[in-house]
Amino acid sequence: MTTHCLIRLATDADRPQIRELLRSAFGQEDEADLVDDIVNSIGYLPDLEVVADDGGVVVGHVMLTRAQIEEALPGMMMRNIPAVALAPLAVHPSRQNSGLGSELVREVLDRARILGERIALVLGHPEFYPRFGFHEALSYGIMPPHEVRSDAWMVAELAPGGLTEVRGTARFAAPFNNPKYW
Ligand SMILES: CC(C)(COP(=O)(O)OP(=O)(O)OC[C@H]1O[C@@H](n2cnc3c(N)ncnc32)[C@H](O)[C@@H]1OP(=O)(O)O)[C@@H](O)C(=O)NCCC(=O)NCCS
């Protein structure tokens, strides 16, 4: 279904509208606070924050942030494999179920691929994300950063071989460590 929106990178001028959108989509302030915290953290990836713009009105938003998969090696050594984490994703309630959420996810994952990212992680609706190439992460030996519903914890390979010999525990950008946002 066509959405007639411009899908583009978020700018600082969009911040108030992004806050309002997140408040409407989630029915609370937490996700809006989370995005503000992310934007001020070192995990923020400005090239991977995307909005759906309908004639100057922000009706959708998604972002990927820096994550790592931390693998314990013999001899107390650690290997950190870079990944991106998808969260949050929001479409204004008046525009849901018209394909916009899917368009935003595809766009931000395409941008990540172009930038050379190889692995994407998400904690989200298990009925929604498999259509974009996400699979249960536990079956790949990739553990979540904290206890979660196992079918909601998913991983996608963004480049061929991106998940080969990758296992370990995911670490998200610092704002996600605040239990308020789990
Ligand atoms: C989830 C969300 C982003 C989807 O956006 P959207 O524009 O409605 O999505 P699309 O139109 O591209 O796709 C619709 C599909 O998403 C599914 N979907 C929507 N909300 C869902 C939910 N809470 N759980 C599972 N699937 C959901 C619909 O059932 C539909 O599935 P179908 O294609 O098999 O019929 C939107 O509903 C939203 O903003 N929800 C509130 C915030 C939220 O839950 N964010 C996601 C956190 S993981």
- What is the band of 56 on the pLDDT scale with cuts at 50, 70, 90? very high
Q: Does the residue 182 lie in any domain?
A: no
Q: Pick the more confident residue, 23 or 146.
A: 23
Counting atoms of ligand 1 from 1, which one is nearest the CA of 25? 41
Q: Does the residue 151 lie in any domain?
A: yes
Q: Is the CB of 98 under 6 A from ligand 1?
A: yes
Tokens representing residue 137 in the block: 């992460």
Quote the ligand 1 centre to 40 CA distance (angstroms): 27
Q: Is the CB of 131 under 6 A from ligand 1?
A: no
One-letter amino acid of 81: I
Q: Does the residue 179 lie in any domain?
A: no
Instruction: Give the mean pLDDT of 74-94.
Output: 96
Sign of CA dihedral 74, 80, 81, 84: positive
Structure confidence at residue 1 (pLDDT): 54
Instruction: Give the mean pLDDT of 74-92.
Output: 96
Q: With beta carbons less than 8 A apart as the criterion, state whether 18 and 61 touch.
A: yes
The helix-helix angle for 15-26 and 30-39 (nearest 10°) equals 150
- What is the band of 181 on the pLDDT scale with cuts at 50, 70, 90? confident
Q: Does the residue 181 lie in any domain?
A: no
Task: Point out which residues pair with 144 in neighbouring strands.
Answer: none
CATH label of the domain that carries residue 27: 3.40.630.30
Structure confidence at residue 45 (pLDDT): 98
Supply the mean pLDDT for the chain.
Answer: 95
Q: Does the residue 149 lie in any domain?
A: yes
Query: Per-residue pLDDT for 2 more than 60?
Result: no
Range of the domain at 47: 6-174
- What is the band of 81 on the pLDDT scale with cuts at 50, 70, 90? very high
Q: Does the residue 36 lie in any domain?
A: yes
Instruction: Give the mean pLDDT of 52-56.
Output: 97
As for how many domains the chain has, the answer is 1
Instruction: Give the mean pLDDT of 149-174.
Output: 96
Q: Does the residue 20 lie in any domain?
A: yes
Q: pLDDT (tens digit, 9 = 90+) per residue, 86-120? A: 999 999 999 999 999 999 999 999 999 999 999 99
Closest CA to ligand 1's atom 43: 90
C-alpha–C-alpha distance, residues 120 and 115, integer Å: 13
Q: Does the residue 1 lie in any domain?
A: no
Tokens representing residue 143 in the block: 């553990």
Counting atoms of ligand 1 from 1, which one is nearest the CA of 122? 48
